[in-house]
Structure 1
Amino acid sequence: MRSGTQKGAALLTAIALSTTMTAARAEEPTSAHELDPVERAEVLFTRAMELSAEGRETEACPMLEESLRLDAAMGTRYRLAECYEKTNRREAACRLYTEVAREAQRAGMSERESRARLRGEALSAMLARLVVWVPKEVAETPELEVTIDGRPLDREAWTGDPLPVDLGEHVLEAMAPGRKPYRRVVPVHDTSVPIELSVPTLRAQNEAPKTRRAEVTIPSTNRSTETEAPSVRATVALVLGLGGAGALLASAGIAAAALATGGLSEPARGTSAVGIGIGGASLVAAGVLWLVTPPAKARREGGAAMAIVPTVGPLGGGASLLGRF
């Protein structure tokens, strides 16, 4: 009796467990490997649209990317462009809108073509431009590949076609088998001025970099020093100045002594006047000579110069001002 009771309990337990497992298996979603690519793409697209409706574009975009990879449907491409636009990936959105417009034109879908083209053009006006030049001798490199941000650049764009890009840093790369790759990071901060880039010749892998020759500067042995001796005219100006000042002081001393002894006699007055005249003329001549004497550097370089030359004639004397300009 006990044995019969145990068998019955075990049977009931097995039935219950089997029922539970069957119900759980029925609730499980169909495994991904049981769906073909198009069906998987449809599932991802539907879920991405639900997330987008909730404002969760950052989660929706990767699902749309995978859906497009599995099934390159025009509608998926258009919705992915919208997702990129909402997440400020304007260049990618513009590119996808352009692709949709071309595909819709081929399919005769004028309304979708017009809508995609208008949205692409609106985004294009907000983008910066890169202009990539690949010189002919560089373009002839076997199996050369040029990329912008890891995306291959068509050969048609190697001749200076403006490429729309987002603001920020971008990476230009060029590579070829057996050649050292070229890489340049380009910061872009302005949408008004295109940035021009050129791809240089790629060196061979075993080619040593060019060494720069050391440059040695040998000082000149015949160059005048800054402490150059004064010129003759400067010396004459100094002597005249000192002599003129001395004549003025002497004349003033004679006049003062004559006045102190009872008056300024005729001889004293004449001597004083002559001294004052000579002293004044000497000072004026010294000043003129000093002003017209060129600096040492100007004399070396043959610059402008002036000179006063005394002259004597039958009717008297004078001075002539000569110059070089």
Structure 2
Amino acid sequence: MRRWALAISFSITVTSGAPARAQSPEGPSLAVAEALFQQGRELLEQERHAEACPKLAESQRLDPKLGTLLNLALCHENTGKTATAWAEYTSAASLARDKEQKEREDFARERAAALRKKLVYVVLRMEAPPAGVAMKLDDKRIDVAALNVPLPIDPGKHTVTVMAPGKRPWSGEVLVPAQPGEIPVEIPALEDAPPEPPPQPSKPEPPPTPLPQTPLPEAKRPAQTGPRASSVLMVAGFGGAAAALMVGASTGIAALAKASEILPNCNGSSCPGQAGSLATANTLANVSNIGFGVAVLGLGVGIAGVALAPRREDAPRPAVSVTPLLGPGVIGLRGAF
């Protein structure tokens, strides 16, 4: 149905024979707009204007139509929003003229002229507005060119907000009465905004937490006798063996020499008058035996030291040999380790 059903009290004929809306790819939105319009009209007829206005406004947003705009203007007029209704009637008159709808144009112009006498204006004033200034009247942005210009406004409470780069924003409330007239609003010079604090240095990121590492078990090495212990064994063993061998050899030679002196004076197993010489020879023989025994023991200790000495695994093991030395003026051991 064409949206042109206004209140009968205005003596406007309802045109019901107008062509229906053409469906389009926006069919669902058009259907919603039509439903909202119909419900808004019903609420208008019941004089429930506060409920009707939001439905008509949403219908007009979804599908702008001249008939919806006229009904919305009527609704706003009845709720006391004179400036809004005046602007809607004025727009509707221009649309009706473009569509050559004389009856609607005359009605819209008549209502706009009647409301113009009831309008209240707000005049925003500001000396030397700063560069980049921006203003808002309620939630609507207005340009700086609107300063010192009477602006139609609906009665009631309104908020003016002014902002500019580097300035503190200013905001003030304006209470607009229903009586026609002008209300000046003086906007003070905006205060400088405090300087922004310098950027805080970014905290260094903590180093990444190292992953726990399980130490590798050390390979067990066989206990080794230190080089000093093996050296002591070799020096003590072979040195002691050499010394004991010399003692054993010298005392043995002395015992043999003593025995050769006693034997000519002996008759069989009896040696009269040679008791002292026999005791001396026996003592020397015993010392010689002990010396040779100690030499054998020292030789064993020295060989043990060679066996315990640390060596590389790949180094050839030297052969151990010990050879006694006996000669004119020489008594000792010769060894290879």
TM-score range, shorter chain: 0.3 to 0.5
TM-score (norm 1): 0.46
Return the structure number with greater relative CO, CA threshold 8 A, min gap 6: 2
TM-score (norm 2): 0.45
